[in-house]
Amino acid sequence: MKWRNKVGLMAGTLIGSGLIAIAAMAEDQLNYFTWSGYEVPDLQKTFEAQHPGALASTLFGDDDEAFTKVKAGFKPDLAHPCYDKLEHWKEAGLIEPMEKAKIKNWDKVFPIFRSLPGVEDGDKVWMVPWDWGNVSITYRTDLIPNAEQSWNLLWDPKYKGQVATIDSIHDTPLVAAVLAGVDPFNMDDAAIAKVKDVLVKQRDIVKMYTTDMTSVEQALASGELVAAMTWNASAVALKKQGVPVEYMTPKEGMLTWVCGYVMIKDTAHKDLAYDFINARLDKEPGQWLVENYGYGSSSKDSMGAVAPATLEELRLPADPDAMLKKTIFIETIHNSDKISKMFEAVKAGG
């Protein structure tokens, strides 16, 4: 999920230069390490009302960058990685479990998320799931009027130089694995070789491997691209601009991701961290997330507050369990180092 710039609010050139501090870190502030778009004031209102000026947000470009920065010594208080990376954070000793009793709305988190392996451990919680969404294809309905509802669209030679895909092993290689007929999350060397063959076939067709959704949305709006692998928010943003796009439901299945909050080990701001998590689990922030970004909330109250017509338009079910039965849930990817090296080799022409 490289540079899941879910709303495209920050320039890729800034991300490339390293961490971006939204507010100066201070001793009495909570430092929140998150994706671009999750630092916006609309999501902070409840916490800011309780603790004016007590939030400092620092942005990362993708899960791998976040993990690497913290492992190298950067010390935020809370981080916002995705579930498929949870075991890596645990194994590296970077996070500590939270006390379930201090998460007042824990029982309002959908059971499907609370029951994910490794999230809950007795009276402790290792991750508080907060947001979820999909990886699929956003395509121009006027330029591809009868598009096959399949991931194969991004491999169709007919659209050479007019499609884009996500530059992340958590996205494009997983789709390639599905098309290759192998388990995306448990690839041995033979499976990785099959996936490489599929990716090589795409290489000469794709215009760009990118993690900058702003550029993708602009290219789709102009017609430079006719289709691209995106997250939900890109289709939502383009539709608001009046661009004729659709967010595909591939017959092979969308990918579904879940992200959430982890507490960095030995943080000095535990009380602020719990207050922040509890504020985010209130109804309003999750409702805002759904209605403005098109992502799902982990909160039953938040999802229940969104009009059914809005959920239908966004292709989000009121209960995420319904979606997870029809999509490919992104879990821990084994052999990720080998997959990453293979993907880099493909992009380099190897």
**What is residue 15's predicted lDDT score, i.e. its pLDDT?**
37
In this structure, the answer to whether residues 111 and 194 fall within a common structural domain is no
Instruction: Answer yes or no: is pLDDT of 16 > 60.
Output: no
Distance CA 211, CA 233 (A): 14
- pLDDT tens for residues 47-57? 999 999 999 99
Domain range for 263 is: 12-132+257-320
Distance CA 119, CA 123 (A): 11
Distance CA 32, CA 24 (A): 12
List the Cα angle 117/118/120 in 5-degree steps: 100
User: How confident is residue 1, by pLDDT bands cut at 50, 70 and 90?
Assistant: very low
The H or E element containing residue 58 is strand 55-60
- pLDDT tens for residues 33-76? 999 889 999 999 999 999 999 999 999 988 888 999 999 999 99
In this structure, the answer to whether residues 261 and 250 fall within a common structural domain is no
In this structure, the answer to whether residues 128 and 270 fall within a common structural domain is yes
**What is residue 27's predicted lDDT score, i.e. its pLDDT?**
59
In this structure, the answer to whether residues 219 and 174 fall within a common structural domain is yes
Q: How far apart are the first and last CA of the chain?
A: 23
- pLDDT tens for residues 169-210? 889 999 999 999 999 999 999 999 999 999 999 999 999 999
In this structure, the answer to whether residues 303 and 166 fall within a common structural domain is no
User: How confident is residue 19, by pLDDT bands cut at 50, 70 and 90?
Assistant: very low
In this structure, the answer to whether residues 274 and 342 fall within a common structural domain is no
**What is residue 345's predicted lDDT score, i.e. its pLDDT?**
97
In this structure, the answer to whether residues 126 and 25 fall within a common structural domain is yes
151 or 231, which is more confident:
151
- Phi, psi values for residue 319, rounded to 5°: -120, 115
In this structure, the answer to whether residues 160 and 115 fall within a common structural domain is no
In this structure, the answer to whether residues 151 and 186 fall within a common structural domain is yes
Domain containing 123 — which CATH number? 3.40.190.10
What are the distances in angstroms from CA 218 to CA 145, 237, 290?
20, 10, 22
User: How confident is residue 318, by pLDDT bands cut at 50, 70 and 90?
Assistant: confident
Share of the chain above pLDDT 90, in %: 81
Burial 201-231 (b: 16+ CB within 10 A, else e): ebeebbbbbbbbbbbbbebbbeeebbbbbbb
- pLDDT tens for residues 242-295? 999 999 999 999 999 999 999 999 999 999 999 999 999 999 999 999 999 999
Strands 328-329 and 255-264: parallel
How many domains does one find in the chain?
Answer: 2
Predicted TM-score (pTM) of the model is: 0.85
